[in-house]
Amino acid sequence: MTRLSVNINKVATLRNARGGNLPDVEQFAVDCEGFGAEGITVHPRPDERHITRADVRALKEIVTTEFNIEGNPEPAFMDLVLEVKPTQVTLVPDAHDQLTSNHGWDTKAHFAKLTTIIQRFKNVGIRVSVFVDADAEMVEYAAKAGADRVELYTGPYAEVYDKDPETAINMYRAAAEKARDLGLGLNAGHDLNLRNLKAFVTAFPWVDEVSIGHALIADALYLGIQETIKQYRYALSNSN
């Protein structure tokens, strides 16, 4: 079954808006695991507008499932990841002022850079996933660069799905099948939600992991975090 990793960035955003430690990001991560999440994802940014470097260090000590750190592999980010040694690092080509991830790597144009970065992380036992658009060639060059997995940017999937589910799925078929054929692990997550998640992992049952934050936390405002995780896991478990 595809695993669910909960991205807790938005919990840190709420905490930072007021100062102090409410909500408690560490306790929230522990509770998510207790409610059935099989991983915790964070995306620390240089301005620390949500998850901070101190959060990352603290979470490493308490997360008992898989710990996934996302971000642009600039020197400060790389130093933090190499220090913390999470289960997985997801390389994302975000600009400093970017609100949220909205495109994947051009793995062909950045092949040499990515090859060097990926090897540094793999040398210390960190699994490496590369964030890419739904483009089979980008998947292929991620594999050539040494990535263990790719994460498909599913923003366009979510945008099209409500109007035309079949087209939305077909937009991702070549890339997902290329990852499978090359022996790459496959992740997804951006803008996946309770409306469109089941269809995606039913079409591509070899997806290893979905990391979901914004939609999941928004659902939790109405359902509560325990019930929300239950419903996301139900969608994943009933997808095949």
pTM of the model: 0.95
Q: Reduce the secondary structure of 82-108 to three states and give it as a string.
A: HHHCCCEEEECCCCCCCCCCCCCCCCC
Is residue 48 among the annotated active site residues?
no
**What's the pLDDT at 100?**
62
DSSP-derived secondary structure for 158-217: HHHHTT-HHHHHHHHHHHHHHHHHHT-EEEE-TT--TTTHHHHHHH-TT--EEEE-HHHH
**Of 50, 66, 151, 190, which is the active-site residue?**
190
Is residue 43 among the annotated active site residues?
yes
How far is it, in rounded angstroms, from Cα 56 to Cα 78? Answer: 13
**Of 70, 140, 151, 209, which is the active-site residue?**
70
Per-residue pLDDT of the chain (240 residues; tens, 9 = 90+): 999 999 999 999 999 999 999 999 999 999 999 999 999 999 999 999 999 999 999 999 999 999 999 999 999 999 999 999 999 999 999 765 655 656 799 999 999 999 999 999 999 999 999 999 999 999 999 999 999 999 999 999 999 999 999 999 999 999 999 999 999 999 998 999 999 999 999 999 999 999 999 999 999 999 999 999 999 999 999 865
**What's the pLDDT at 97?**
62
Selection from 153, 63, 152, 79 nearest residue 121 by Cα: 79
**What's the pLDDT at 98?**
56
**Of 33, 43, 50, 209, which is the active-site residue?**
43
Is residue 190 among the annotated active site residues?
yes
